[in-house]
Amino acid sequence: MRTNHRTSLSLALILLLTVLTPLGAVAAWSDLEIGDTRRFVATTAPLGSDRAVRTALADRITDQVMSELDSSGFDVGPFQEDARRAVRGLLHDAVLSFTGSEAFENAWRTAVRALHSTVEQALAGGRGNAVTLDLAPVVRQVKAQLVADGVPFADRIPVRDSRIVVLEANGLGVWREVAEGLRAAGIWPAVAAVLLAAVAVLAAPAGRRRRAGTGVGLAVAAGGALLVVVVAVARGTVLQDLPAGGDRVACAAFYDALTGSLRITGWSLLGAGLLLALATWVVGPLTGRRERGRQSRRA
């Protein structure tokens, strides 16, 4: 193959690597992180101890109790507003306190385990819009504990239809279609990216392989940076249609937890790519000078 053709082929493969690198990361994440129930639960279960999430849950449950009381004609006389705020504060504090208990942790794990299949369908299967976390297992435990503790009005806590939005999948748009296509590929795009990097270097003419190696490093770094940007942009599209409040807090927390490995991968690729580019750019000339020095001494 002529030198110019080999150079052009190597350059084309390096440019393709820039795109394949983030796609491979997303495909592996979709298969290994979202597609595995055990890993999904291990990733999202710690959110039960997140202060913002616990507060959002306490707000939602307290709002439902107060709505139930209002619909039943809750009336405590001339100081109704003050009494209402006092009841709300008491309930909210009691629910928030319960979210720090072992019983809540077990109920939370049950809830997020049930959530896995719906998130998987929304992200990878293209089915469904808003993904909601069914709070019934949590609310049931809350109600039982608060009733046992003698908390006023705890018996009025409704267990039915207790949900909070954790993912606005409809806002993902094209991102969901990309995830659906990559899900079937699994880890193979990532494997292909590694092979493509090797072929890009080997395809270059012998005298230009150092530059090809530098190009591969820069392509990997660019792919990592692109992945970080995509995760950030997708986060904005997921949250943009949600009102400020509990749903937005929960959705942001779940999104950040689920995509945490993607962000780490993106920054790791960026750093590794830059190091590879620097190493091939600096080590190559040093090696060449040493070889020329050996040849001159032999002469």
User: Which pLDDT score is estimated for 295?
Assistant: 46
User: Which pLDDT score is estimated for 139?
Assistant: 78
User: Which pLDDT score is estimated for 271?
Assistant: 95
User: Which pLDDT score is estimated for 291?
Assistant: 45
User: Which pLDDT score is estimated for 236?
Assistant: 85
Q: In the chain, which stretches have pLDDT less than 70?
A: 1-2, 70-80, 123-130, 160-161, 168-180, 184, 243-246, 284-299
User: Which pLDDT score is estimated for 179?
Assistant: 67
Instruction: Quote the CA–CA distance of 73 and 157 in Å, as a whole number.
Output: 15
Distances (CA, A) of 97 to 66, 122, 226: 18, 33, 42
Q: Are 21 and 218 in contact (CB under 8 A)?
A: no
User: Which pLDDT score is estimated for 296?
Assistant: 52
Verdict on whether the full-model pTM lies above 0.85? no
HSE-CB for 11 with a 13 A CA cutoff: 7
Spatial CB neighbours of 188, under 8 Å, sequence gap ≥ 6: 27
Q: How many residues does the chain have?
A: 299
User: Which pLDDT score is estimated for 156?
Assistant: 72
